[in-house]
Amino acid sequence: MEYRLFFIGLGMGAFAWISRGWQKEGGPKTPLKSALWHALFFFMAAFSVTMILAMSSERRETFIAVGAHALSVGDIYPALAAGLVFAAIGFWRAYSKGRSVESRRYFLSEDLEWADTVFSAALMASLLMMFVLQAFKIPSASMENTLLIGDHLFVNKFLYGLRVPFSGRRILAVRNPKRGDVMVFEFPDHDPTQLHCGSVQYGKDFIKRVIGLPGETVAVRAGRVYIDGKLLEPEPYAVHDDPYRETESQHAKEISPQRYQELWQDHRLDMELNNHQRDFFGPVKVPPREYFMMGDNRDHSCDSRYWGPVPEKDVKGMAWFIYWPPSRMGVIH
């Protein structure tokens, strides 16, 4: 979301900069030029608003990659359609009333004022979301009872260090992630064609709890977590509400430890085991600068048991404070 806002801000800033230079020269000389420029502003505005509204929707199975991120084709088409419709409205509005110099200057001044406003608001909001604080909404039950469906929360974006955009690097960290932190991160498998837990997860934001730290060996036996061979306890946040316990997959027993580790790190273990690793998993060693994540609702969580470790570069921040609903307002533990 923050990257879309950033580029929307840059686009509006470029529009405002060109408009300001044109304004100094006296504005558009003909109704056609005035109408085309006004239509461009309407297109940019409608396209941007539609893209922002699409941020909360589920991603489709077809994507257009943009650097390390993605835009769903299902988002692009409605945004283009909205932009073209409003561009036609803007063109007609400016062309029908743009015969006088004063009218053409008025439309240019109006577009410049709005572009300046959007530029400032979008750029400041994107920088705030990138580096300081961002709001999220809980979409699933995987973190119950710590977080419930519909909870709105703030995520601290600077505790683990500021993410340098498009580089994967972090700087000025206050501290490193600790076991027990509730963390928001971008889904770690960056292959947009892969299915995990029954659907495409590429590009989505996840929220889970840090269980395994870099260099530690993690295993699950009969639903209980072991770190470096020792039972992890207490875990007051963990919920097990399914009385049925899966047995260990015979296929998993036949996979060599080295191959098991490779499949897990490559985000392909769930495909190899057909998602049969909820209660018996590992052992695996967490790679350097990566983390093993699990949902608190252990029997209903799509987490690192299935799709592998989370690299430091994909971490967005630590879940900090529930601000809505008021009855659940408070610091997240």
- Give me the domain span that covers residue 64: 2-131
Rounded Cα distance, 271 and 312, in Å: 24
Based on the fold, state whether residues 24 and 160 are members of the same structural domain: no
Based on the fold, state whether residues 35 and 149 are members of the same structural domain: no
- Has this prediction a pTM greater than 0.85? no
Structure tokens at 111: 């577009």
Based on the fold, state whether residues 106 and 167 are members of the same structural domain: no
pLDDT of residue 59: 38
Give the torsion sign (CA, 141, 142, 147, 150).
Answer: negative
Give the contacts of 3 (CB within 8 A, at least 6 positions apart).
69, 126, 165
Number of domains in the chain: 2
Based on the fold, state whether residues 115 and 138 are members of the same structural domain: no
Given 131, 162, 178, the domain boundary residue is 131
Based on the fold, state whether residues 117 and 256 are members of the same structural domain: no
CB atoms within 10 A of CB 191: 11
Write the CATH number for 180. Answer: 2.10.109.10
pLDDT tens per residue across span 110-130:
999 999 999 999 988 888 887
Going by C-alpha positions, the residue among 282, 328, 2 that lies closest to residue 162 is 2
Give the burial string for 307-318 (b: 16+ CB within 10 Å, else e): bbbbbbbbbbbb
Going by C-alpha positions, the residue among 174, 123, 110 that lies closest to residue 14 is 123
Rounded Cα distance, 256 and 146, in Å: 36
Based on the fold, state whether residues 187 and 43 are members of the same structural domain: no
Give the contacts of 96 (CB within 8 A, at least 6 positions apart).
none
Based on the fold, state whether residues 194 and 318 are members of the same structural domain: yes
The tens place of each residue's pLDDT in the chain, 333 residues long, gives 677 788 899 999 999 999 999 899 888 989 999 999 999 999 999 998 888 776 544 433 333 333 334 455 556 888 899 999 999 999 999 999 878 999 999 999 999 999 999 999 998 888 888 788 988 999 999 999 999 999 999 999 999 998 877 677 888 899 999 999 999 999 999 999 999 998 999 989 999 999 999 999 999 999 999 999 999 999 999 999 999 999 999 999 999 999 999 999 999 999 999 999 999 999 999 999 999 999 999 999 999 999 999 999 999 999 999 999 999 999 999
